């Protein structure tokens, strides 16, 4: 049976961020994730997790100026020092929060550099990050993002992430498989899960179109959840969707599909 995590960046977003932990617990979650912790002291976030009996499973490495349009810098040839400094910052937060998985976003192509430049930078940075995370027994996730939502994003397909993992050649690098992005970019969801399950370290979900909750679009989530169980996926599934009309009403699908939080 799937284990679901509330993505606090996306869910309960009618509340200030620090109030979302209690809201997630009240809704029945005991696992959370979110994009970034860096706006708050790590001890403040740890206190929210402890007060609400929550486990946090994931957050992203620093991704540059998110509000200014950055969507990751791991493949940016001109920002290597910034990326590598961010790895240390992320590990510090993860150690306080008890998080064992950090997600790496390649980011958008930088004008003036070739795809080869970007690939070499991404490979070297991913290896640097994975080596650093090994010392703290953490896994490095790498996520592909569809090119419709983020034009110019450097990694779009699951097979590209698998190639990166092969080239980095370290045991603690995994695919963060976002089913919404995968559906928009490549489809073949069940076949991809089967092909790459041994490399998938975390799964996130939303339906398409609209990026709303399961049951609002074209993706057959009851079938996919059954496939995950059949294939032996034992990790957490992050609910990284835009709730419609609000978070609590959006969670009706969990019971409708025969699951529980």
Q: Which structural domain, as residue segments, surrounds residue 166?
A: 3-256
DSSP assigned state of 61:
P
Q: State the catalytic residue, choosing from 19, 143, 167, 186.
A: 143
Encode burial over 183-221: b for 16+ CB neighbours within 10 A, e otherwise: bbbbeebbebbeebeebbbbbbbbbbeebbbbbbbebeb
Q: In this prediction, what percent of the chain has a pLDDT beyond 90?
A: 99
Q: State the catalytic residue, choosing from 39, 159, 218, 240.
A: 240
* Spatial separation of the C-alpha atoms in residues 105 and 96, rounded to whole Å: 22
3-state secondary structure of 57: strand
Classify residue 261: in a domain, yes or no: no
Q: Which pLDDT score, from 0 to 100, does residue 54 have?
A: 98
Q: What is the mean pLDDT of the chain?
A: 98
- Tell me the per-residue pLDDT of 52-98, one tens digit each, with 9 for 90 and over: 999 999 999 999 999 999 999 999 999 999 999 999 999 999 999 99
Classify residue 123: in a domain, yes or no: yes
Q: Which pLDDT score, from 0 to 100, does residue 205 have?
A: 98
Q: Has residue 27 got a pLDDT over 90?
A: yes
Q: Which pLDDT score, from 0 to 100, does residue 17 have?
A: 98
Q: Which CATH number fits the domain that encloses residue 236?
A: 3.20.20.150
Classify residue 37: in a domain, yes or no: yes
Task: Tell me if residue 116 is catalytic.
Answer: no
- Tell me the per-residue pLDDT of 132-170, one tens digit each, with 9 for 90 and over: 999 999 999 999 999 999 999 999 999 999 999 999 999
Classify residue 76: in a domain, yes or no: yes
Q: Which pLDDT score, from 0 to 100, does residue 1 have?
A: 79
Which tokens hold the place of 47?
């206190």
Classify residue 204: in a domain, yes or no: yes
Q: How many domains does the chain have?
A: 1
Q: Which pLDDT score, from 0 to 100, does residue 219 have?
A: 98
Task: Tell me if residue 143 is catalytic.
Answer: yes
Classify residue 33: in a domain, yes or no: yes
Average pLDDT estimate for 123-131: 98
Q: Which pLDDT score, from 0 to 100, does residue 238 have?
A: 98
Average pLDDT estimate for 3-32: 98
pTM of the model: 0.97
Classify residue 149: in a domain, yes or no: yes
């Amino acid at each position: 049976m799937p284990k679901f995590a509330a993505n606090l960046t996306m869910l309960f977003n009618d509340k200030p961020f620090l109030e979302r932990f209690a809201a997630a617990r009240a809704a029945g979650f005991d696992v959370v994730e979110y994009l970034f912790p860096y706006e708050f002291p790590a001890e403040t976030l740890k206190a929210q997790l402890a007060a609400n009996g929550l486990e946090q499973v994931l957050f992203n490495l620093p991704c540059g100026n998110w509000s200014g349009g950055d969507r990751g810098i791991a493949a940016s040839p001109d920002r290597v020092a910034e990326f590598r400094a961010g790895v240390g910052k992320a590990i510090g937060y993860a150690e306080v929060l008890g998080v064992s998985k950090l997600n790496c976003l390649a980011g958008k192509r930088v004008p003036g550099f070739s795809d080869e430049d970007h690939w070499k930078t991404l490979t070297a940075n991913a290896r640097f990050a994975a080596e650093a995370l090994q010392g703290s027994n953490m896994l490095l996730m790498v996520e592909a993002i569809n090119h419709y939502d983020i034009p110019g994003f450097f990694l779009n397909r699951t097979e590209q992430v698998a190639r990166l993992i092969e080239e980095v050649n370290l045991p603690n690098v995994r695919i963060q498989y976002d089913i919404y992005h995968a559906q928009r970019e490549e489809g073949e969801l069940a076949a991809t899960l089967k092909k790459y399950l041994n490399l998938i370290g975390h799964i996130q979900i939303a339906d398409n179109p609209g990026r709303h909750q399961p049951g609002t679009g074209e993706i057959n989530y009851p079938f996919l959840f059954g496939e995950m169980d059949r294939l032996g996926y034992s990790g957490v599934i992050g609910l990284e969707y835009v709730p419609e009309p609000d978070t609590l009403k959006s969670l009706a699908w969990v019971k409708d599909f025969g699951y529980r939080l």
